[in-house]
Amino acid sequence: MTPFLGELIGTMVLIIFGGGVVGGVLMKKSKAEDAGWIVITVGWGLAVTMGVYAVGNYSGAHLNPAVTLGFATIGDFPWADVPMYLVAQMIGAILGAVIVYFQYLPHWGETEDQGAKLSVFATIPAIRHPLSNVISEVVGTFVLVLGLLAIGANEFTEGLNPLIVGALIVAIGLSLGGTTGYAINPARDLGPRIAHFFLPIPGKGTSDWKYAWVPVVGPILGGVYGALFYQKFFEGVNNPAFWVVSIVILAIFAAAQVSIRKINAIHN
């Protein structure tokens, strides 16, 4: 199997299980209906585990553009292979979403909630505030990539890496996912959102393209910063990019704080 096919199939598996658990919890007349957030987070953790086990030996199982770009930024992955990986991840995410659509084929018409239908494919923020939403995605993906690099550096995880990575995804979902639904992966959100746009889902409503940039920009910034942070503080390598990205992220944090203060002042 080629690395391209590995990333495609691995990401497809990720979305089949991840989107599938959301569909099970949110779709009307599903036997898993209303199972709750813990089921969704555990399902996503297992989705990542299965994806990594499936193709880890063939592509390294990035399954996530933020991971690929983060690793490339610190020299752990060749930039020449980045476009191939990103394309494979996007195709895999779209195909996985299409399979989830067919899995719940009779349930779309039974489900009236347009937000629930979109949530099977893409993320929706609990409180829509773009700058704050970007921060949530930055923090979640920062922890993800930092965690991946730390896990890979420990010999005791040999053979158990996929399980430990799955546990990391569950931890992120439980602790940090309640604000935006924790995309922490541009392909995981954008690929299925594209599928949602084109698929003939009855009464599906909008694909919410105004929000679509958040789960792309936030994870990329967070993934790159997580890798740079690991390189600086764990490996002792001084990369000028660390300070550039630090300034960008601090500016976003400051702008979000100012915006929230203005909103609170108006409400009060």
Amino acid identity of residue 167, one-letter, is A
Walk along the chain (268 residues) in steps of 10 and give the mean pLDDT of each run. 97 98 98 98 97 94 97 97 98 98 98 98 98 98 96 65 93 98 98 98 97 98 98 96 98 97 87
93 CB-near residues (< 8 Å, 6+ apart) = 11, 12, 14, 15, 187, 188, 190, 191, 192
Q: Could you give the CA distance from residue 89 to residue 190 in angstroms, rounded to a whole number?
A: 10
Closest-CA residue to 104 (of 119, 89, 92): 119
* 18-23 contacts at long range (C-beta below 8 A, 24 or more positions apart): 18/43, 18/44, 18/47, 18/48, 18/188, 19/96, 19/97, 19/100, 19/120, 19/121, 19/192, 20/47, 20/100, 20/103, 21/47, 22/119, 22/120, 23/100, 23/103, 23/104, 23/107, 23/120
Structure tokens at 266: 């108006």
In this structure, what DSSP letter does residue 27 have? S
pTM for this predicted structure? 0.96
Single-letter residue type at 247 = I
- Give the CATH number of the domain where residue 64 resides: 1.20.1080.10
Q: Which domain holds residue 174?
A: 3-267
Residue 126 CB: number of other CB atoms within 10 A?
Answer: 12
- Any idea what DSSP says for residue 80? G
d(CA 126, CA 71): 30
Cα separation, 90 vs 47, in Å, equals 16
| Whole-number Å distance between alpha carbons of 165 and 47 | 10
What integer pLDDT is reported at residue 203 of this predicted model?
A: 96
| pLDDT at 268 (0 to 100) | 75
Asked whether 23 and 120 are in contact (CB, 8 A), the reply is yes
Only one residue has tokens 């709750």, namely 36
What is the structure's pLDDT at 155? Answer: 55
For the chain, the helix, strand and coil percentages under 3-state DSSP, each to the nearest 5: 70, 0, 30
How many structural domains does the chain have? 1
